[in-house]
Structure 1
């Protein structure tokens, strides 16, 4: 069995070399313009240690997800963290698939939260074509990793014949159910 997590630190926080420590070090302002903006396409604003060095060693990060009407965050995984999604505007249909290949889905409204277990394939979808939606996701890692299945499968050079065989097998299996 393999496990991965953020390392425990031996101090209150980690200071990058040459940094000045004041309240600004612990403040991230990169999400200010999100709320109130017009959402034209699906987008994710990540706030991990890469964008916010003050998070280094704290084992937390977040992302703000913006969905236009009909927008989708395609199937993906986070190998190093569970995700706690909080709907702050609109509604979302969400789901994940466990290791027994069982699909769990839910329709969420403003104020609802949903947890996606670490490493499991999951998605979010705004089925309302007339309204946008916004959600905030919290993670138990400063570097969650994101593996987008469509990108991983179709944009990384896997041979087309291999992909065609895979799709054929999946299609055949779904017809047997």
Structure 2
């Protein structure tokens, strides 16, 4: 009886081991779908696929928002494909802001590593949660909710965000309204903003319509 049990256990162990797929490094030449990118063949995977150095350098904050977001999503970091996480670096200059935006596909965890960041989000019940964070403090932003980050104080702030998806998605509210071809009459109708203001903001952000 014992030899049979040992045989069955060995068979089960070998079968389970064969069914395990440790990782699925993205083949970025393929198309991205709901399940992520297709996997590179194991023979072409190297240690470099699991390392990303792109967040070590500061982003360029000489722009209209005075801030930069450097992503380490699957498109930049193929090793996170299928793992349910990714990251980004936030560089926010004095007076800079990451405008109201949403990540449709992920929760976000922000940790401040330099300076102070005032951050917040708006719940589905239109309740606003805001906190000024200092170095070492964290804040979470639930999936799909509008949120923002602003430098608090007169010095540059840096933070790192971790997302619960390799492709969290991003939609910035101001850009969706004023950097698109969403028509001025419809924006006015749906937001109650003055048409002159809408046209001014479209002129600043490059929108049309």
| Same fold at TM > 0.5 | yes
Query: Which one has a larger percent strand, Structure 1 or Structure 2?
Result: 1
Q: Hey, what's the Cα distance between the residues in 2 that align with 1:78 and 1:146?
A: 5
Q: Which has the higher contact order (CA 8 A, sep 6+)?
A: 1
Aligned counterpart, 2:156:
132
- TM-score, with normalisation over the residues of structure 1? 0.82
Q: Deviations over 1:128-156 (max 9, x none)?
A: 2x200000000010000001100111122
* Closer/same/farther in 2, CA of residues 38 and 14 from structure 1, 3 Å limit: closer
Larger Rg: 2
Aligned counterpart, 1:166:
190
Contact in 2 for aligned 1:39/1:132 (Cα 8 Å): no
Runs of at least 4 residues of structure 1 off by over 3 A? 15-19, 37-41
Aligned counterpart, 1:105:
130
* Structure 1 residue 39, shift from structure 2 partner: 5.2
Find the residue that maps to 1:115 and give its secondary structure.
strand
1:13 aligns with 2:38: no
Aligned counterpart, 2:77:
52
Q: CA RMSD in A?
A: 2.2
Find the residue that maps to 1:79 and give its secondary structure.
coil
Q: Deviations over 1:12-68 (max 9, x none)?
A: 11143467323212111112223xx88543001100110011111111100000000
Q: Hey, what's the Cα distance between the residues in 1 that align with 2:155 and 2:179?
A: 30
- Identify the match of residue 53 of structure 2 among 23, 29, 32: 29
For structure 1, the 5+ residue unaligned runs are 1-8, 171-177
Find the residue that maps to 2:44 and give its secondary structure.
coil
